[in-house]
Structure 1
Amino acid sequence: MVKDGEFVAIFNSIHRVMKAEKILKERSLPILLIPAPRALRADCGLAIRYGGADREAVEGVLSEFGLVPEEIFVREGGSYRRCDGPVGGSELS
């Protein structure tokens, strides 16, 4: 379950999400591999969940390894908002 304020990174393949999980866990970052929430479209069916306090570190490591997620969402008030950067996005229920 994704709580308000948590982020969900969606990848376009199972290979990429598994590689991202491995790298992030090797860096001891507090992430969790989860089934992609039904409200979000995910080709591989899996996603990575992480807290807002860890966003910069998680996304920095992913970028460093060329594993930029296809999309990133944050849970807010029971809906998901797409993150286009530090500010902005659109809402999905």
Structure 2
Amino acid sequence: MDSYYILVFNNTHEAMKAESGCVEAKIKATMMPTPSYITKSCGISLRVDENGFSSIKELINEEKINVKSIFKKEDSFYAEVQL
């Protein structure tokens, strides 16, 4: 099963801040274009696998990163999740 999380941001600055924090904290994350069928927002999102999701939640809270929404992809479905 193909399952991961997509973090969507209000702007590129927040996306870059999140990616930088992931690099420093050694959280495996990948920048990706925001799928347009999820939301029309910042064009850059962060993809995080299930193993890194708890770490990214901590990072978001500690660094006060503004995340617009989070989606979990399972197979071909996207479901919005709450922090």
Q: TM-score, normalised by structure 2?
A: 0.90
Q: Higher RCO, 1 or 2 (CA under 8 Å, sep at least 6)?
A: 2
Match of 1:13 in 2: 11
Displacement, 1:21?
Answer: 0.6
2:10, 2:66 within 8 Å by CA — same for their partners in 1? no
Instruction: State how many pairs are aligned.
Output: 83
Secondary structure of 2:23's partner?
A: helix
Contact in 1 for aligned 2:14/2:66 (Cα 8 Å): no
User: Which segments of 5 or more consecutive residues in structure 1 lack a partner in the other structure?
Assistant: 86-93
> What is the match of residue 79 of structure 2?
81
**AA in 2 matched with 1:59:** K
Deviation at 1:84, TM superposition (A): 2.2
Q: Residues of 2 paired with 1:42 and 1:14: CA distance?
A: 13
Cα RMSD after superposing both structures: 1.5
Structure with more strand by fraction: 2
Equivalent residue for 1:61, pick from 48, 59, 62 = 59
Percentage identity across paired residues of the two chains: 23
> What residue in structure 2 maps to residue 91 of structure 1?
none
The amino acid across from 1:19 in the alignment is: K
Over 6 Å off, 4+ runs? none
Task: Please give the TM-score of this superposition, normalised by the length of structure 1.
Answer: 0.81
Q: Unmatched 5+ residue regions in structure 2? A: none
Report the residue type matching 2:68 in the other structure.
E
2:67 match: secondary structure: coil
